[in-house]
Amino acid sequence: MERKQLGMNDILPPELIHGILLRVPAEDLFRLRFVSKLWHSFISDPDFAESHYNLYSAASSGSVLVKDHTNACCVSLDTLFDVTAAAPPTFKVVSLPSKKTPCSLFRLLGSCRGFLLLEEKPANFLVIWNPLTGSSKTISYSHIASEIQPDDAFRYGFGFDASRDDYLIVLSWHDNSYNQHHLDCFSLRTNSWINLDAALPKSISRRKQQLSGWFLHGAIHWLCYSSKDCIDDGILIFDLKERSFSKISMPQQLVGDYPIYLTILRGCLALYSYDIDNHKTEIWVMKEYKVPSSWILMYEIPYGNNLPLCMSNGNDIIALNFIPRYCKIRFAKYNVSGKLLNYSPLPLSEYYNFHRSFSVYTESLFPFPCDIKDRDKKKKTGQECFEQHDDVAKD
């Protein structure tokens, strides 16, 4: 009888509970925070969040699509083609972090460690948002936007500087009126904008540029263009630790093609383009980071226009397949030979106008750096809240 009244925390050692919780999906962990003080201490620990993210980031992916001006839709890409599931996959609708009236216009610009970077118009705000926890931070860049002209090169970036334990928003832009390059970074840790002096490679065009960058290996990456004839010719890299630019070349077979898009597939840089003449999507993958000779043509998909999202089950690829003529969009899965395996039953017709406003990410429990400081200050007050939740759990 005494043993039946004991809880899990009384029977299992803390090390084992810690190990079990590490294998629970982030969405479920977020709901389990207040089961007990012990569980809350584990789940709220930044080191636990780091270990959990590292465990899941290589194994699972989620996707967010903007639905309208107020909502976004999240879906686990791993469940899209699960034929053994009891129910078909569905979108989870989440509210975008807008406090403006009338509703703002949002555009997804990138992701990093479970956080998404959004642009909020017309107020010239950037918003960092965790769709799982609902936490967000709004940053004004109106002082920068007011100086940018329509034909100025302008690049967004969002990444994590592990050496400083800091998230950075990077705005790189060139003022064509004065022929000056500007580099501004917003630090979440210091909650401030800083101006950096980092020179662009000389061959980079001062006009035509890809808008948003991709974070990988401690750096932000943009597709870039030569200053000579404005054709795609390489990838611009900004190292967040060294605060410096560099450049790597793309496959020679792609130089001069248009349009070309940059993405990341299973921790590798990838380029994809749509061959209009042959009605197929070609995907090139850089197998070894910063080694141009490691570029390989990995996929040739003869099924219309495809936006590659992620890789699963070995080398199978999940993509957004759309047919502009019929305004049709759907999730599709292909093998390494480019053969269509199947389409997901998840309906996407109402999202067609927003198909470019999407991001692939892994859910995380990471707090903002400023939240960690606030948590320490409010630790005593928080203990009272935890005790109340403990009482509810016992009841």
- Where residue 192 falls among pLDDT bands split at 50, 70, 90? very high
What mean pLDDT is predicted for residues 76-83?
79
What mean pLDDT is predicted for residues 209-236?
78
What mean pLDDT is predicted for residues 309-326?
80
Backbone angles phi, psi at 20, to 5 degrees: -70, -45
Look at residues 320, 342, 305 and name the one whose alpha carbon lies nearest to residue 65.
Answer: 320
Q: Residue 14 corresponds to which amino acid?
A: P
**Maximal CA-CA distance, the chain:** 82
Q: What is the DSSP string of 323-338?
A: EGGGTEEEEEEE-TT-
pLDDT value for 371: 63
For residue 250, pLDDT over 80 is answered with yes
pLDDT value for 151: 61
Q: Which two tokens stand for residue 172?
A: 């790189």
CB 88 within 8 A of CB 339: no
Higher pLDDT, 355 or 272: 272
pLDDT tens digit string along 126-183?
999 998 888 899 999 888 877 776 666 678 999 999 999 999 999 988 776 667 788 9
Helix, strand, coil percentages in the chain from 3-state DSSP, rounded to 5: 20, 40, 40
Question: 3-class SS at 101?
Answer: coil
Domain boundaries, the chain: 12-60
Q: Which two tokens stand for residue 201?
A: 């490679």
Q: Given CA atoms 242, 269, 64, 274 in this order, what sign does their dihedral have?
A: positive
- Where residue 263 falls among pLDDT bands split at 50, 70, 90? very high
pLDDT value for 395: 37
List the end-to-end C-alpha distance of the chain, in Å, as a whole number. 18
Give the 3-state secondary structure of 351-365. Answer: HHHHCCCEEEECCCC
- Where residue 204 falls among pLDDT bands split at 50, 70, 90? low
Q: Compute the distance between CA of residue 395 and CA of residue 387 in angstroms, rounded to an integer.
A: 12
pLDDT tens digit string along 337-391?
889 998 888 877 666 565 557 788 888 999 887 665 555 555 545 454 444 444 4
What length does the chain have?
A: 395
Query: Any residues with CB less than 8 A from the CB of 354 and at least 6 apart, and which?
Result: 65, 66, 67, 68
For residue 32, pLDDT over 70 is answered with yes
What mean pLDDT is predicted for residues 61-89?
74
Tokens 């203990």, residue?
383
Determine the distance from the C-alpha atom of residue 139 to the mean position of all C-alpha atoms in its chain, rounded to a whole number: 18
| β-bridge mates for residue 75, sequence order | 63
- Where residue 113 falls among pLDDT bands split at 50, 70, 90? very high
Question: 3-class SS at 48?
Answer: helix
Residue % of the chain over a pLDDT of 90: 33
Q: Which two tokens stand for residue 183?
A: 């580099």
Q: Residue 69 corresponds to which amino acid?
A: H
pLDDT value for 392: 38
Q: Which two tokens stand for residue 28?
A: 């479920």
CB 231 within 8 A of CB 209: no
What mean pLDDT is predicted for residues 314-320?
86
